[in-house]
Amino acid sequence: MTPTPPVNSCGFPEDDRSNVPTAPESGIARPTWDEYFMTIATQVATRSTCLRRRVGAVLVHQKRILATGYNGAPRGLRHCAETGCLRQQLNVPSGQRHEICRALHAEMNALLQAAMYGIPVEGADLYCTTQPCILCAKMLINAGVKRIYMKEGYPDEMAVEMLKEADVELILVSSETQGSKQ
């Protein structure tokens, strides 16, 4: 009888990589986990249909991708490239009047994708190309996301304050800082 490998909290087998050579031993340059997931979030952002800001998000738990999302119009509806951007036409500054935006945010779409497929996100990390706005911050708090790795900030201090109050870590990931806490 073959022994059953240990499983993680999601029910997947744990990796046994004890015999895999590390990057220095093999001469292979490998990205850190933060670089890896942020690169994926950056690639996801290329699917965005927003005219003002292309954002990608990746929900991760125990180094496993749970769901991805990018900002754009709800499925089946015309994209902003076809309809134009009302916020841009009204000169609405970034970080304000989200309710007149036609699109869903990347973080919202990642949470919705997980929900559609019954994937729990409690305790997950979010890798996002931009700091979440207040609307996304509240959703991420309620979903149980514990850490948010971001490539760049966003002009929304209330979001930062709420995330800190909820003990959700905000971590800036860039080529210069590689994981500095905000």
The two structure tokens encoding residue 91:
């000169």
Residue in 99, 107, 122, 161 annotated catalytic? 107
Q: What are phi and psi of 8, to 5 degrees?
A: -85, -175
The neighbour count for residue 86, using CB atoms within 10 Å, is 13
Distance in Å from the first CA to the final CA of the chain: 50
Q: CA angle 62-63-69, nearest 5°?
A: 105
Catalytic site includes residue 107: yes
Q: Tell me how far apart the alpha carbons of residues 150 and 133 are, in angstroms, rounded to a whole number.
A: 12
Interstrand relation of 125-128 and 169-172 (parallel, antiparallel or unpaired) = unpaired
Q: Can you read off the two tokens belonging to residue 118?
A: 């019954």
Q: Which amino acids are annotated catalytic?
A: 107
